[in-house]
């Protein structure tokens, strides 16, 4: 499984990748997480690549993407690496409805920021996207995913955010 | 009262410095102080590259040969590994003030608890007498054959004065070996620089003005006179930063 | 328990587990996280971290400390590692151990921050003045980075020679699940180190030095070659790749095998000593060997060609896929192989 989270710096695409990686690890998979860094991040572009598998994982960088989470419109350029029949989750707060997307891909359009605001957690648009992705693709069991999400923030000493983050996750989960 | 002095063990092997060179005097003063402190078997001397390399053959104690300019960094590593030992960097002016200016000043700046001795003989002596940052205006060297022109190459560098401005540095002095009186004073500076480390006071630097008759192209007598009249007035002698009592 | 770790943090923690007591370094992307991590981790463990004024000072601090027997290391990348070469040559000249980390970035001069393997020739050939070699490990995962680092100090002390971990920008920046070995410490005296008493330091003087180096190189070459072979035993074509390209290469081997093509992979784990022994397994019927590397014009391929000359009968062609500033993608390797097989792509050696 190869997932790319892409967006502006500040949209939490690195964290989204990390959270997904932790979920995959909890699920007993081998995992790699790879951030775009340095020159590739110029102009505020950011992405992270998560790969997981039962066996050995190849290179950590983008090769053949299964799921592209596009938090903004420029991120659609990575569709060039998307497998035929691959899924794009487009954050409609930053990706316009008429943005050109090849019909060979599946698309789910959800307003991640709007839903995050609805959950009183405007910084968690990335977690909304994760919720939508997990539901749409059945990646991990809901309870397991939520438990990992909780644990990540407990480990960071940010326990007070766990309920807000779970609310954001559920907004995404229920939106598809 | 006459005192019969025996040669300290650490300088008991004949050295290879040129006749009339002042290095041997500083070697002996350091050896005397180390012996006085009972540190003959508890000292690691880091030797820079230049005439200090000669001490590989003559310094009768533990010594590490490092690269040109890296004495202070190496002595820093030694002290980190063995804080119980005396870590001394012994370098020349080309080594410590030209190629190794960064390492010298940064060790002082961080107040590394090491003792640095720098022989200032106003030239790159080991390589045959080239201009150094310490070369006097008008001084003839093999790379300033018409005499050093400060307009093109700058005025002689005074590193101890700068090192003394770092707030935590324990001790900075400049001595000379051109007279018995100065040698006696220098002995005091050497002692303070070593005691500062042994007492955990911090970084100590002693620069030592030193004649180099071979590369200056002078007799020993004339070179000592030149030091007294030309070199010492430019490079202020004395303590530039005294130890905190 | 396996936890997600960033490569640069993991290598730093592994050095702690291996008993490293002193680190000196200077910031440079993409290895800075090594320093950042150790700047708080080492004081926690009662060990010494020092941010040096430059790369040379850092390596000489290590030089001084390891001369006195303290497990010490430094790390850098690309141009910073070039600056360290003077000190590495001094370490080798004096037969002092040390552990060095190079998280490679692309290119000469300033280069870029892209992941690459363009320091291969410098690092496997000594890199500074004079004749010497550094033992170089080239891991391809974060767990392997940890495991190699765990033994690096032991090997460095055994041979009185620096050991380098040759990482890559992406391997330093990425995260993978890692399990760490327990803390260990070497307490015994190495016997030759500086302790102030002027005891013998095992110093080798001329004219014995050339003989001593030959003996050391022979011993390391005989004992320390490490590699991993994958589906090589019946291969018609063999890929050779280390580090991250070896991972996409392994995927390419699987894909090609599924198509019924007999290909295999030799993955050097030590790039010096180069694992000539790995080539023993190549069948005599092999049709070609392909070096796959993140370099611009080919570096690893020179060692591959020498190994093929020594170990394979006849004149087996050696091809090169050089991916420059990135890890070659699996499909690029498969496509390149198509060219090799059809004869469209010409051999380099």
- Three-state secondary structure of C153-185: HHHHHHHCCEEEEEEEHHHHHCEEEECCCCCCC
Q: Is the peptide bond before C273 cis (omega within 30 degrees of 0)?
A: yes
Band of residue B77 on the pLDDT scale cut at 50, 70, 90:
very high
CATH class of C227-342: alpha beta
Least confident of B5-14, B151-160, B197-206, B233-242: B5-14
Q: How large is the average pLDDT for residues C31-53?
A: 98
Instruction: Provide the pLDDT for residue A40.
Output: 55
Q: Where are the domains of chain C?
A: 3-223, 227-342
Query: Considering chain A, what percentage of its residues have pLDDT values greater than 90?
Result: 89
Chains B and C touch (3+ CB pairs under 8 A): yes
Domain boundaries C3-223, CATH class = alpha beta
Please choose, from the candidates A54, A49, A53, the residue with its C-alpha nearest in 3D space to the C-alpha of residue A65.
A49
Asked if the model's pLDDT at residue B5 lies above 90, the reply is: no
DSSP secondary structure string, A28-90?
Answer: T-EEEEEE--GGGGGGGEEEEEEEEESS----SS-SSEEEEEESSGGGGGGGGGEEEEEEEEE
Q: What's the pLDDT at A45?
A: 82
Measured between CB atoms, does B77 come within 8 Å of chain C? Answer: yes
- Chains touching A (at least 3 CB pairs under 8 A) are C
Mutating which of C196, C202, C206 best tests the B interface, going by the most B Cβ atoms within 10 A?
A: C196
Residues C87, C56: Cα–Cα separation, whole Å: 7
Using CA atoms, how far residue C137 sits from B101, B150, C42, C272, in Å, is 35, 51, 24, 7
pLDDT digits (tens, 9 = 90+) for B205-227: 999 999 999 999 999 999 999 99
CB of B62 less than 8 A from some CB of C: yes
CATH number of A2-174: 3.40.920.10
Phi, psi of C12 (to 5 degrees): -70, -45
Q: Is pLDDT above 60 for A172? A: yes
Q: Are strands B171-176 and B238-241 parallel, antiparallel or unpaired?
A: antiparallel
Which two structure tokens, joined as six digits, stand for C170?
A: 């992406």
- Express the helix, strand and coil content of chain C in percent, nearest 5 each: 40, 20, 40
ipTM of the complex: 0.95
Q: Closest chain B residue to C94 measured between Cα atoms?
A: B65
Residue C253 and residue C247: Cα distance in Å, rounded?
10
Q: Does residue B163 surpass a pLDDT of 90?
A: yes
Residue A59 to residue C113, Cβ atoms within 8 A: no
* Mean pLDDT estimate for chain A: 94
Residue of C nearest to A42 (CA): C113
Chain A within 8 Å of C335 (Cβ-Cβ)? no
- Topology agreement, domain C3-223 and domain C227-342: yes
Buried b (16+ CB within 10 A) or exposed e, C128-157: beeebbbbbbbbbbbbbbbbbbbebbbbbb
Residue B91 pairs in a beta bridge with B118
Confidence check: pLDDT of B68 > 60: yes
CA distance B151 to C165: 49
Confidence of residue B47 (pLDDT cuts 50, 70, 90): very high
pLDDT band at B195 (very low <50, low <70, confident <90, very high): very high
Number of Cβ within 10 Å of residue B153's Cβ equals 14
Mutate to test the interface with A, among C104, C175, C267 (most CBs of A within 10 A): C175
CB neighbour burial string for A131-167, b if at least 16 within 10 angstroms, e if fewer: bbbbbbbebbeeeebbebbbebbeeeeeeebbebbbb
Instruction: Write down the pLDDT at residue B141.
Output: 97
pLDDT tens per residue across span A79-137:
999 999 999 999 999 999 999 999 999 999 999 999 999 999 999 999 999 999 999 99
Residues in chain C closer than 8 A to A33 (CB atoms): 4, 174-176
In this predicted structure, the answer to whether residue B42 has a pLDDT above a threshold of 90 is: yes
Which of C63, C69, C197 is nearest residue B41 as measured by Cβ atoms? C197
Of residues A25, A58, A61, nearest to C2 (C-beta):
A25
**The two structure tokens encoding residue B228:** 């007294």
**Beta carbons of A21 and C326 less than 8 Å apart:** no
Section C198-203 average pLDDT: 95
Report helix angle C209-223 to C142-159, nearest 10.
140
Res A77: pLDDT: 94
Average pLDDT of chain B to the nearest whole number: 96
CB C151 within 8 A of CB C177: no
Please state, for a pLDDT cut of 70, what percent of chain A lies above it: 97
pLDDT of residue A10: 85
Q: What is the mean pLDDT of residues B120-133?
A: 97
Tell me the C-alpha distance between C226 and C273, whole Å: 8
All structural domains of chain A with their residue ranges: 2-174
Whether the predicted pLDDT of A39 surpasses 60? no
Q: Give the model's pLDDT for residue A38.
A: 61
Residue C313 has pLDDT above 70, yes or no: yes
Sequence-ordered strand ranges (E) for B22-179: 43-47, 62-65, 86-92, 115-120, 171-176
pLDDT at B67: 96
- The pLDDT of residue A9 is 85
Report the alpha-carbon distance of residue C307 to residue C309 in Å, rounded.
5
Tokens representing C136 are: 């170089």
Could you tell me where the beta strands, DSSP code E, fall in C169-315? Answer: 175-178, 227-230, 237-240, 263-268, 270-272, 288-293
Per-residue pLDDT at C178 = 97
Just give the CATH number of B19-241.
Answer: 3.40.50.970
Whether the per-residue pLDDT at B1 is higher than 70: the answer is no
- What's residue C1's pLDDT? 79
* Beta-carbon separation of B73 and C61 below 8 A: yes
Question: In this complex, which of B46, B60, B81 lies closest to C22 when CB atoms are compared?
Answer: B81
Nearest to C196 among B65, B75, B85 (CB): B85
Q: Tell if the CB–CB gap between B77 and C52 is shorter than 8 Å.
A: no
Closest CA of chain B from C63, distance in Å: 6
CB-based contact (8 Å) between C199 and chain A?
no
- Asked if residue C60 has pLDDT above 90, the reply is yes
């Amino acid at each position: 499984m190869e997932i790319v989270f892409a967006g502006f710096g500040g949209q939490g695409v690195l964290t989204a990748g990390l959270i997904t990686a932790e979920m995959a690890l909890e699920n007993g998979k081998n995992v790699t997480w790879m951030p775009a860094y340095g020159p590739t991040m110029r102009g505020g572009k950011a992405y992270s690549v998560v790969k997981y598998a039962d066996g050995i994982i190849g290179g950590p960088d983008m090769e053949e993407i299964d799921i592209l989470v596009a938090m903004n419109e420029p991120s659609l350029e990575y569709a060039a690496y998307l497998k035929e029949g691959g899924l794009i989750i487009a954050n409609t707060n930053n990706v316009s409805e008429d943005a050109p997307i090849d019909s060979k891909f599946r698309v789910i359009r959800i307003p991640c920021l709007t839903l995050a605001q609805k959950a009183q957690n405007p910084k968690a648009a990335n977690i909304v996207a994760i919720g939508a992705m997990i539901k749409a693709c059945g990646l991990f069991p809901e309870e397991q995913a939520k438990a990992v999400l909780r644990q990540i923030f407990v480990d960071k000493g940010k326990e007070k955010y766990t309920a807000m983050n779970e609310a954001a996750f559920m907004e995404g989960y229920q939106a598809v | 009262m006459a005192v019969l002095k025996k040669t300290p063990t650490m300088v008991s092997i004949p050295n290879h410095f040129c006749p009339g060179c002042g290095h041997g005097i500083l070697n002996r003063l350091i050896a005397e102080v180390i012996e006085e402190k009972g540190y003959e078997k508890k000292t690691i001397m880091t030797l820079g590259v230049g005439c200090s390399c000669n001490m590989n053959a003559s310094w009768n104690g533990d010594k590490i040969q490092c690269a040109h300019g890296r004495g202070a960094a190496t002595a820093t590593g030694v002290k980190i590994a063995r804080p119980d030992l005396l870590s001394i960097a012994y370098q020349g002016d080309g080594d410590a003030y030209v190629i190794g200016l960064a390492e010298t000043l940064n060790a002082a700046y961080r107040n590394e608890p090491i003792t640095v001795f720098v022989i200032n003989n106003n030239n790159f002596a080991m390589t045959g007498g080239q201009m150094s940052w310490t070369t006097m205006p008008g001084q003839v060297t093999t790379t300033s054959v018409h005499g050093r022109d400060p307009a093109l190459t700058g005025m002689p560098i005074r590193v101890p004065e700068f090192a003394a401005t770092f707030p935590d540095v324990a001790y900075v002095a400049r001595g000379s070996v051109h007279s018995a009186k100065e040698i006696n004073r220098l002995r005091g500076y050497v002692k303070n620089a070593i005691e500062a480390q042994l007492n955990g006071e911090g970084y100590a630097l002693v620069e030592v003005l030193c004649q180099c008759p071979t590369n200056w192209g002078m007799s020993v007598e004339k070179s000592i006179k030149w030091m007294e009249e030309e070199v010492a007035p430019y490079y202020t002698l004395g303590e530039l930063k005294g130890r905190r009592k | 328990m396996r936890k997600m770790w960033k490569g640069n943090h993991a290598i730093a923690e592994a050095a702690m587990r291996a008993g490293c007591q002193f680190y000196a370094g200077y910031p440079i992307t993409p290895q800075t996280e090594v320093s950042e991590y150790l700047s708080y981790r080492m004081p926690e463990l009662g060990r010494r971290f020092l941010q040096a004024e430059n790369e040379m000072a850092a390596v000489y601090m290590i030089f001084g400390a390891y001369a006195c027997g303290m497990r010490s290391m430094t790390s850098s990348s690309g141009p910073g590692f070039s600056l360290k070469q003077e000190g590495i040559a001094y370490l080798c000249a004096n037969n002092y151990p040390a552990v060095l980390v190079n998280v490679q970035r692309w290119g000469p001069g300033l280069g870029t921050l892209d992941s690459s393997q363009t320091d291969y020739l410098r690092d496997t050939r000594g890199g500074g003045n004079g004749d010497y070699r550094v033992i170089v490990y080239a891991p391809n995962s974060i767990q392997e980075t940890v495991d190699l680092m765990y033994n690096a100090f032991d090997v460095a002390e055994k041979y009185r020679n620096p050991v380098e971990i040759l990482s890559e920008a992406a391997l330093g920046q990425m995260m993978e699940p890692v399990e760490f070995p327990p803390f260990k410490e070497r307490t015994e005296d190495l016997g030759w180190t500086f302790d102030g008493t002027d005891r013998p330091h095992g110093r080798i003087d001329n004219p014995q030095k050339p003989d001593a180096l030959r003996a050391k190189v022979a011993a390391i070459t005989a004992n320390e070659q490490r590699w991993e072979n994958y589906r090589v035993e019946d291969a018609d074509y063999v890929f050779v790749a280390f580090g991250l390209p070896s991972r996409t290469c392994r995927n390419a081997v699987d894909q090609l095998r599924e198509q019924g093509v007999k290909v295999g992979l030799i993955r050097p784990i030590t790039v010096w000593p180069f694992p000539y022994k790995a080539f023993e397994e190549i069948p005599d019927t092999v049709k070609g060997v392909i070096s796959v590397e993140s370099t611009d014009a080919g570096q690893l391929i020179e060692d591959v060609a020498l190994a093929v000359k020594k170990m394979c009968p006849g004149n087996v062609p050696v091809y090169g896929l050089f991916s420059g500033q990135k890890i070659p993608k699996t499909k690029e390797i498969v496509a390149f192989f198509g060219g090799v097989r059809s004869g469209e792509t010409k051999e380099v050696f």
